[in-house]
Amino acid sequence: MTTSTIVTAGDRTARRSHRRVEPIYYFFLLPSLVLFTLAITVPGVVGIFFSFTDSIGIGEWHFTGLTNYIALFSDPAILQSYLFTIGFSIATVIVVNVLAFLLAVGLTARIRLKTALRTVFVIPMVISGIIIAYVFNFLFSNSLPSVGEALGIPALSTSLLADPDLAWVAIVIVTAWQAIPGTLLIYIAGLLAVPGDVYEAAALDGASKGQQLVRITLPLVAGYVVINVILGFKGFLNAYDIIVGLTNGGPGTATRSVAMTIIAGFNGGDYAYQMANATIFFVVAILISLLQLSLTRGRNAF
């Protein structure tokens, strides 16, 4: 191959890589971009603007500078909602991912009726969160105490939802029950993508099922773990409907999430103050996401 041939081929490759984008792509992108801007970006910017005012959502308003933000950091109710939300999110992410991964391993094994079982386990994902919450509210408030009294177990004789120290456990259980199916599907996809030859080679080398799980399966599905953790944490930070249906933030304010606090403020005419809270919550969520990505970067997670 001559030098001129190499140069010509290189020029064609360079021209191909710098080929302009076809206008039709922008034509299809524009509607989505306009809708996203009008529905997400513009309201977000307007909300941030009003967080520096004393607006109640309607009528006149005046600039107050950083007054709302300063007041937030000295508000114990706001601090409590952040502590509960972050603690609840961490606990739920752990429970959901551990159980979903173990279920995925079982549902991808050589067992009978695994297709039917996958369908059964996915059912909670298609049920409304508020309906699930009301059903479990009845179970925790009536059925479970009745069983506890019948069996003579004092710990189960009273509703978990009425205990300020244990109500969060009930919320984690119900939230995990609904969230596991979506996480399970992602893990099943990851496990099915692992070549079977890898396990056959490991078995020939004498690796047990436990060793294969720890040394082969987990490293190869690490990217799926990262995806589930990030998506799960983001979703649990915005927890609202299940908490409303179970405890409505009680007992007292023990299980009031940040989302509940913000919406309650909007309904109570505390618009600007809660917009400042929402802005801080948005920044916190971004920082947590960046932290998660930085901790997994460089570990071949993706």
Q: Is the pLDDT of residue 44 over 80?
A: yes
Identify the DSSP state of 41.
I
Identify the DSSP state of 251.
S
pLDDT for the residue 280: 93
The domains located in the chain, with CATH, are: 76-297 (1.10.3720.10)
Tokens found for residue 195? 């070549």
Q: Is the pLDDT of residue 301 over 50?
A: no
pLDDT tens, residue by residue, 194-241:
888 888 888 888 888 888 888 888 888 888 888 898 889 888 998 899
61 close to 50: Cβ distance less than 8 angstroms = yes
Q: What is the mean pLDDT of residues 291-301?
A: 64
pLDDT for the residue 300: 47
Q: Is the pLDDT of residue 4 over 60?
A: no
pLDDT for the residue 243: 93
163: helix, strand or coil: coil
Q: Is the pLDDT of residue 35 over 80?
A: yes
